[in-house]
Amino acid sequence: MSPSRRKLVVGNWKMHGTHAANEALLEALKSAGPLPSDVAVCAPHPYLAQAAERLARSAIGWGAQDCSAHEQGAYTGEVSAAMLADFGCRYCLVGHSERRALHAESDQLVADKAQAALARGITPIVCVGETLREREAGETEAVVKRQLSAVIHTLGHCAGEMVVAYEPVWAIGTGRTATPEQAQAVHALLRAQLHAATPRAAQMKLLYGGSVKPDNAGVLFAQPDIDGGLIGGASLKATDFLAICRAGAH
């Protein structure tokens, strides 16, 4: 790992949470004291104000799980980047595999959402990754490069301001995890693609997402191009999430 790249661990709560459960989880995270990684949580939209209030005086950042590509208008149910920025949102996931699969989000729509977030001072966490069919067909490299290329092209000289998360779809919520070597190989590929696009590539954070747990986080985060994780289910359990955050020290 480059000494200039501090680890970043981001919790993705997905469609989970209640006001009371969130309160307990956020309090446990705040009470943990200094952590060796930068830490953030991405909460469902109804709970963003709660996260903003509870984390306001802590080192833990917060973010949204999605945003609209549109600035404003007749888009019922959508939430704009301007709305998120209005009360201090720092991060926004875009292109999560569940959005791509369940909502048919195209590579270009993901790129447009990343651009909308950046325009409002929000760091987009751009997710890329292949399905099991694509991996078995030997298409991993082509798929992730295509997904990232759309964002690089749209962001132009601002491409270096995003965070990239590699999440093999076959390892999300399945209990299966890419081996450290498999994950590193894709991260190295993405880093090389970014090097060709921006002088900031060496400083950019590339996260791994896909069944990261306390017992495998350390070896994953030790890979030279893996700068932390995008954590799903384990981010809902304070003990597990904090253990993963502390893995950034190893």
Asked whether the predicted pLDDT for residue 71 surpasses 60, the reply is yes
Whether residue 172 is contained in a domain is answered as yes
| Closest to 227 measured CA to CA, from 248, 201, 198 | 248
pLDDT reported for residue 4: 64
Asked whether the predicted pLDDT for residue 2 surpasses 50, the reply is no
Q: Active-site residue among 98, 134, 167, 187? A: 167
pLDDT reported for residue 170: 86
Q: Active-site residue among 96, 98, 105, 130? A: 96
- The residues facing 11 across adjacent strands are 41, 231
Whether residue 141 is contained in a domain is answered as yes
What is the pTM (predicted TM-score) of this model? 0.96
Asked whether the predicted pLDDT for residue 1 surpasses 50, the reply is no
96 labelled catalytic: yes
Whether residue 4 is contained in a domain is answered as no
Indicate the number of domains in the chain. 1
Whether residue 220 is contained in a domain is answered as yes
Whether residue 206 is contained in a domain is answered as yes
Distances (CA, A) of 181 to 178, 187, 225: 8, 10, 11
**For residues 154 and 133, what is the distance between their CA atoms, to the nearest angstrom?**
28
Whether residue 55 is contained in a domain is answered as yes
Mean pLDDT computed over 180-202: 97
Q: Are 159 and 190 in contact (CB under 8 A)?
A: no
pLDDT reported for residue 3: 45
- 247: amino acid identity, one letter: A
Whether residue 52 is contained in a domain is answered as yes
CATH number (domain holding residue 169): 3.20.20.70
Whether residue 244 is contained in a domain is answered as no
16 labelled catalytic: no
- 97: amino acid identity, one letter: S
Asked whether the predicted pLDDT for residue 29 surpasses 80, the reply is yes
Six-digit token string for 116: 């909308």
For the chain, percent of residues with pLDDT exceeding 90: 90
pLDDT band at 171 (very low <50, low <70, confident <90, very high): confident
| Domain coverage including residue 211 | 40-232
Exposure b/e, 105-134, CB count within 10 A at least 16 = b: bebebbbbbbbbbbebebbbbbbbbbbeeb
- Per residue in 116-159, pLDDT (tens digit) is 999 999 999 999 999 989 999 999 999 999 999 999 999 999 99
**For residues 108 and 105, what is the distance between their CA atoms, to the nearest angstrom?**
8
